A and B are shown apart, each in its own frame.
Chain A
Amino acid sequence: DQQVKQNSPSLSVQEGRISILNCDYTNSMFDYFLWYKKYPAEGPTFLISISSIKDKNEDGRFTVFLNKSAKHLSLHIVPSQPGDSAVYFCAASGLGGGSNYKLTFGKGTLLTVNP
């Protein structure tokens, strides 16, 4: 029973274009969402997050959109750069405010940005 789904295992885009990575979730108790980026042989690094009280959060070239009614979020990277090539994980949390924060991860999407 996958609560966080990234249905595209891979995505390829041209440098300078927009990359859109999608994520769906099934648990309506999730109220905080994060995107992590992972290079080979390294640990995941935090990229951007969004609370369920918002529908958009922007940080430089990265924007995350949240559609609560559809239980869907997306990560937009504009413009895409070759250095963005990595695996992107979507994660969700439903414990905001508690003393421990467990994340549920999707399976990841491999983004390749071609020069």
Chain B
Amino acid sequence: NAGVTQTPKFQVLKTGQSMTLQCAQDMNHNSMYWYRQDPGMGLRLIYYSASEGTTDKGEVPNGYNVSRLNKREFSLRLESAAPSQTSVYFCASSENTDTQYFGPGTRLTVL
């Protein structure tokens, strides 16, 4: 039982490049979330998916798109990366409770 897994662990992009961050959970949770963590800013919600087939914007959605591929997988895409998107990205999932379970994170640097 791996919980929430994220790939890649690290990524360096040049400004304007695109990439997709992958997230999968094996806990059969309905809800999944993408956060970013910046120094001194805590965790900020980018997008979430309450259930398979639905997605909604969070606090900081600009510059990102998401896909809830199936119940297990929730991906985050940066179409044209910018230096302001340098951050650590966390995926989380939850099942009908407020408690969310987090993945290990992806550290992204945009040059």
Contacts and interface: CB of A to CB of B under 8 A. Distances in A.
A69 interface: no
Contacts of B40: 9, 107
B104 A42 contact: yes
Contact of A89 (B33, B43, B45, B56): B43
A43 B102 contact: yes
A83 to B, nearest CB: 19
Contacts of A41: 104-105
Contacts, number: 63
- Scoring A6, A44, A45 by chain B CB atoms within 10 A of each residue's CB, the highest score goes to A44
Contacts of A105: 42-44
B100 to A, nearest CB: 6
Contacts of A6: 42
B41 interface: yes
Contact of B98 (A42, A44, A49): A49
Nearest to B56: A100
A99 B103 CA distance: 21
Interface in B55-76: 56, 58
Interface string B36-50: 000011111100101
A41 B105 CA distance: 8
A99 B100 contact: no
Given A45-B102, A108-B42, A101 B58 contact: no
Nearest to A97: B96
A44 B92 CA distance: 9
A89 B100 contact: no
Interface of A: 6, 9, 32, 34, 36, 41-46, 49, 89, 91, 93, 95-96, 99-103, 105-108
